Every structure is written in C-alpha cells, then in structure tokens.
Amino acid sequence: MIVHNLLKQNSILNTFISEIRDVHIQKDAMRFRRNIERIGEVIGYELSKSLNFTPQIIQTPLGKSHLQILDNDIVVCSILRAGLPLHQGLLNYFDASENAFISAYRKHTSKDTFEIVVEYFASPSLEGKTLILADPMLATGQSLVAVYKALQKHGVPKKIHIAAVLGSQEGIRFIENHFPKQTHLWIATIDNDLNDKGYIIPGLGDAGDLAFGKKL
C-alpha cells in the first residue's frame, strides 16, 4: 500500500485538523461537518495529481487552448454515516463521478469486543473504474476491509484510493494485508495508538456523532 500522510508538510490542512480535534470547537456540528468537507477537498486535490489526464483542445471566445483534462471513470464510495461530509468534499472536486454508499458499523458482542456489520449497499458497477473509498476514521481497519469485501461483487476496480481524515498505525498495518499492493491511502493525519475499545488516541471522538448527533 502506498501511504500519503498529508500532514507531513505544513499547510492550511493543519487548521482544519486542529479544529475537528478541539473539544470546544467540535461542539459546533455544522463547523465540524464543514471542516471534514474541506479536508475532503484537500485530499481530492492531492489525489487528483495521481490520476490520468489526456490532452484536449478547448475553444475559448478568442482562440483555442491546449489543456490536460482529467480522464478517469471515478466512483466515490462513502461509508455511512460518518463518511458523508468527506464524500461531499471529494464530490466538490470530482463532480462528474459516480457514487456509491454502504453502511458498516460496529455491533458489540460483549463489552470489549465487536464485529463489523455491513447492511445497506448501493453502487454502480466498479469494473475497470477508479474507486475512491471515503471513511474519515481508520481505527482498527476492520470496517474498511469488510466494505472492500462487500464491494467485490460489483466488479474489480482498475485502481483503488482510500480517503481518510484520521487513522492509527495499527489500522493502516491491518488494511495493508487486505487491499491490493498498489492501493493508495490518502490520509490527513496519523496517530500512534488505539485504546482497548479500538478508538484512536488522541483521536477526536466519534466522527458520526459529532457530525450528525448521537445515536441510540
């Protein structure tokens, strides 16, 4: 797996990350969602540099312009519900892409153990296309692997990109063993640790709850 840790170089991304982590600022759900969306836009811009472009001639009012234009069949797939703001950020840049949505959640079998349950799934064919998987929190990596297995029934993508806001070293190691070697992971920042419940430390909390409110 090819890992792109975007926070290795200082940019405006630092501000967005600091605000989604801050326990005071993140109480504003609208601002939290918007920051996740903006992070998605930054990831989309960086990711676009690795995609295919073809030369085209564009007619302007005064002449012709020779440009390199994005030439990829892209499907953006978000993991519900936390992935929705990140999905929107990517869609702001890849507005011609197709879209897929899949649910994956932790079903606790005991106080300290859980399994990943995949239920709702809506997707176009992925055969030969560029798949961008949007999941803001890469904690244990189990949900991403479960989603990838579920997606395989819809075809084999030509390329796979994972877009994440925050991840753990352990989660990255886990998905490296389950995704194709040429998969690209675009991640805003990486933390070192998980606690005994599988949450990222220091992390930022539950991204789904912060964006959309607590669930039962």
Residue 196 and residue 162 in contact, taking contact as beta carbons nearer than 8 Å: no
Check residue 107 and give its pLDDT: 65
Answer whether residue 112 shows pLDDT above 70: no
Is position 47 within any domain?
yes
Is position 199 within any domain?
yes
pLDDT confidence of 119, banded at 50, 70, 90? Answer: confident
User: Measured between alpha carbons, how far is 34 from 175 in angstroms, rounded to an integer?
Assistant: 27
Is position 194 within any domain?
yes
- 111 or 178: which leads in pLDDT: 178
Answer whether residue 153 shows pLDDT above 90: no
Answer whether residue 116 shows pLDDT above 90: no
User: Measured between alpha carbons, how far is 212 from 198 in angstroms, rounded to an integer?
Assistant: 21
Check residue 105 and give its pLDDT: 66
Give the residue among 109, 108, 107, 100 at the shortest CA–CA distance from 80: 100
Q: How many domains is the chain built from?
A: 1
Check residue 156 and give its pLDDT: 94
Is position 61 within any domain?
no
Report the number of secondary-structure helices (H) and strands (E) in the chain.
6, 12
Check residue 198 and give its pLDDT: 84
Is position 58 within any domain?
no
H helical segments located in 49-176 = 84-93, 142-151, 169-176
Which structural domain, as residue segments, surrounds residue 179? 2-52+72-212
What is the pairing mode between strands 193-194 and 200-201? antiparallel
Q: Does this model's pTM top 0.75?
A: yes
Coil/strand/helix, residue 31: helix
Check residue 106 and give its pLDDT: 66
Residue 210 and residue 32 in contact, taking contact as beta carbons nearer than 8 Å: yes
Could you tell me how many residues make up the chain?
216
Give the residue among 165, 139, 133 at the shortest CA–CA distance from 151: 133
Is position 60 within any domain?
no
Check residue 23 and give its pLDDT: 96
Answer whether residue 196 shows pLDDT above 90: no
Check residue 130 and give its pLDDT: 97
- 56 or 196: which leads in pLDDT: 56
User: Measured between alpha carbons, how far is 194 from 187 in angstroms, rounded to an integer?
Assistant: 17
Is position 63 within any domain?
no
Is position 142 within any domain?
yes
Q: What does the pLDDT average to over 159-184?
A: 96
Q: Could you give the angle at the alpha carbon of 131 between the alpha carbons of 125 and 132, nearest 5°?
A: 135
Q: What does the pLDDT average to over 24-43?
A: 97
Longest dimension (CA), the chain: 68
> Average pLDDT of the chain?
92
Could you tell me the CATH number of the domain that includes residue 94? 3.40.50.2020
